[in-house]
A and B are shown apart, each in its own frame.
Chain A
Amino acid sequence: MKDKRQQVAILERKRGQLYQALRENLARFAKMGIKAEVFIPQGKDNTAFLLIDENTIARYFQRRIARYLRQIDRNITIKGKLESDVLVLSVTASITPKREELDKVSNKIKEELGKDGIRTEVFYDVKDYTRINTLMDFNDIVSYFDKKVRETIEKSRYKVEVATYRESNVLAIRFRK
């Protein structure tokens, strides 16, 4: 594989809109705190990929959820795992939060992720409020990123096709002209 800078330079010269679409989405992901890798298959002038490690995606949602849970307790620890098509995030609080606070925060989490079309469930053991579990549908997460990329492309009216799919623990977004 050629050096990344060289690859991007080649794209810039040869592929116009494809390059712009790739660049704008790369910047959009960077703003979300997500590092995406650029991959350009050799010998294919009309295709490029953005590759995002699934752990990076898990961390992104971890941050979004932690933002709410830190309203209850600043000192939380989060563990997570992608169990096939379900992203599991388990939060442990250092204090026992009030049931009402937990209900309020879990509703907010569900509401926020629901707006993005991501089915989410937040639950906790009624005997032990210190452990809060969140389950997220990873297929919805893939659709969410696909939608975000398409939005950018439609806004700029690029004639570029997009496909988003999972491949070996990586979220691949394919751009084709």
Chain B
Amino acid sequence: MTYSSKITIADLLDAVDKINKFVKFGERVGRIIGQLASCGIDISKINPYDINSLIAMAVRLRSQGYNVTDVDIEELREEFREILEMDLDEINKANRTIRRFISTYKSASSTLSVVNRTVGAGLEQMQALAQLFGLKMPKEEVEEEEEIEELEEEELEELKEAIKAFRKKR
């Protein structure tokens, strides 16, 4: 994905997807760090390349009744491989793409309402204009039109008395 000055809707969707995955990953990591903290382990003091440090963490977890295999690092790594391989700059770029879209969206919405107020554009014109910005306009709530069949004279005749009584009640 390229983040050129031109942003397409595909870029936007891609950016939303990337940020979603990143946030999900962050939440999972946050939960693990929280669980470790509740066992009295400060993750920032663990050196993943020092076996003694990892053993100390495992011992601490076992003493709290936790099984270290509860945290399946391999599964996590597999699940979030895309994120782990991602340069954080890509996340920042995705954020910028979404911000630019939101800013364009706000300005497009405001232009539409100004156009509507000043020139009194019809719904069709507004929809055409909205499409230029890739926006959706609410549809007019026109209900399905049904043809009403006319009551035949003899059918109406049966109701004459009722109609008469209805009028009298007025």
Contact = CB atoms under 8 A, between A and B. Distances in A.
Contacts of A85: 167
Contact of B166 (A8, A12, A79, A121): A121
Interface residues of A, number: 28
Contacts of A12: 120
Given A23-B120, A30-B142, A86 B148 contact: no
B42 to A, nearest CB: 61
Contacts of A78: 146, 148-149
A86 B150 contact: no
A80 B166 CA distance: 16
B159 interface: yes
Give chain B's interface residue range (CB within 8 Å of chain A): 20 to 34
Contacts of A30: 140, 142
B163 A79 contact: no
A77 interface: yes
Given A30-B140, A31-B140, A90-B155, A80 B163 contact: no
Contact of B145 (A59, A86, A88, A119): A59
Contacts of B151: 79-81, 88, 90
A52 B146 CA distance: 17
Interface of A: 8, 12, 23, 30-31, 33, 55, 58-59, 62-63, 66, 77-81, 83, 85-86, 88, 90, 119, 121, 123, 133, 135, 137
Given A86-B163, A90-B151, 10 more contacts: A30-B140, A30-B142, A31-B141, A59-B146, A78-B146, A79-B152, A81-B151, A123-B162, A135-B163, A137-B170
